[in-house]
Amino acid sequence: MIGVLLLLLPFFLYIAAPQIRKMLSSGVCTSTVQLSGKVAVVTGANTGIGKETAKELAQRGARVYLACRDIQKGELVAKEIQTLTGNQQVLVRELDLANTKSIRAFANNFLAEEKHLHILINNAGVMMCPYSKTADGFEMHMGVNHLGSGVTTYSVHPGTVNSDLVRHSIFMKWMWWLFSFFIKTPKQGAQTSLYCAITEGLESLSGHHFSDCSVAWISAQARNATIARRLWDVSCDLLGIPMN
Ligand SMILES: NC(=O)c1ccc[n+]([C@@H]2O[C@H](COP(=O)([O-])OP(=O)(O)OC[C@H]3O[C@@H](n4cnc5c(N)ncnc54)[C@H](OP(=O)(O)O)[C@@H]3O)[C@@H](O)[C@H]2O)c1
């Protein structure tokens, strides 16, 4: 009997997977806000969560800049989003967060092109990449995820999402594959960023941390104003930005 049940288990999991994944991925951005006339920048928009975020913003009518380090990949995705949404205002601009010269050039070009930036999604990031340094000599994770992306108004955790993030670890790739039926899709992973970017009336919660489209708990260390100030000062110092 147990043997039969074990044999049936994979079949049951396969059938039930969409329901199980739905149960585990709570948090959907239900805002119906339209974004025509708004300008958005999504970093790392050529794949994963960033791509889905950019698609949704374009669907709602925003002019969306895909800020990517690989222009060719970015152009392919821009075409795909234009075709899918009918919004031709999906533009690709070069941005390599592992190089502060590239970040400054991106910012200067953007300021020359646009008067306003309404939505900034600092999405690009790396995980578990082999030890390497950015063009400015910072360790890659520190350089790209923290110093490169700068300071965000909201911080969000997308949940565990099936994306290219685990590309540097065979073990994690294998784990992601094994559990792929249950972890979030990139579209589900994009919901919290979208929620924070477009939901009206969230201003009073600025600076909070969000997960599954709600304010989420953060550790005592992350709430410590002295540590935050020190991190800010050290980051400015590393980047040669005058402190204020
Ligand atoms: N997936 C998860 O479970 C999970 C969990 C927690 C947090 N997150 C965060 O969510 C964000 C999106 O991750 P994802 O899951 O969508 O991963 P992903 O599929 O690997 O996408 C990451 C994006 O960041 C870009 N990127 C990496 N280094 C860059 C650089 N130096 N300059 C510019 N762009 C760079 C990548 O561009 P290339 O394609 O050119 O490399 C890619 O477009 C990341 O910040 C990640 O840390 C994800």
Would you write out the chain's pLDDT as a tens digit for each of its 244 residues? 778 777 887 777 777 777 777 666 678 999 999 999 999 999 999 999 999 999 999 999 999 999 999 999 999 999 999 999 999 999 999 999 999 999 999 999 999 999 999 999 999 999 999 999 999 999 999 999 999 987 545 789 998 999 999 999 999 999 888 888 788 999 999 999 999 999 999 989 988 999 999 999 999 998 999 999 999 999 999 999 887 6
Domains of the chain (ranges, CATH numbers): 33-213 (3.40.50.720)
Q: Is 146 in the pocket of ligand 1 (CB under 6 A)?
A: no
Question: Are 98 and 134 a contacting pair, CB within 8 Å?
Answer: yes
pLDDT of residue 4: 79
Residue nearest to atom 37 of ligand 1 (CA): 44
Using alpha carbons only, what angle is made at residue 82 by residues 72 and 197, rounded to the nearest 5 degrees?
95
Cα–Cα distance measured from residue 140 to residue 76, given in angstroms and rounded to the nearest whole number = 26
Cα–Cα distance measured from residue 237 to residue 230, given in angstroms and rounded to the nearest whole number = 10
Q: How far is the CA of 164 from the centre of ligand 1 (A)?
A: 7
Q: Which residue has the tokens 């949940």?
A: 159
Q: Is 143 in the pocket of ligand 1 (CB under 6 A)?
A: no
Q: Is the dihedral of CA 118, 138, 160, 207 positive or negative?
A: negative
Bridge partners, 233 (sequence order)? none
Q: How far is the CA of 2 from the centre of ligand 1 (A)?
A: 43
Q: Which residue has the tokens 């031709």?
A: 88
Q: Is 51 in the pocket of ligand 1 (CB under 6 A)?
A: no
Q: What are phi and psi of 49, to 5 degrees?
A: -65, -40
Structure tokens at 207: 């600076």
Cα–Cα distance measured from residue 160 to residue 173, given in angstroms and rounded to the nearest whole number = 13
Q: Is 164 in the pocket of ligand 1 (CB under 6 A)?
A: yes
Cα–Cα distance measured from residue 107 to residue 96, given in angstroms and rounded to the nearest whole number = 12
Q: Is 163 in the pocket of ligand 1 (CB under 6 A)?
A: yes
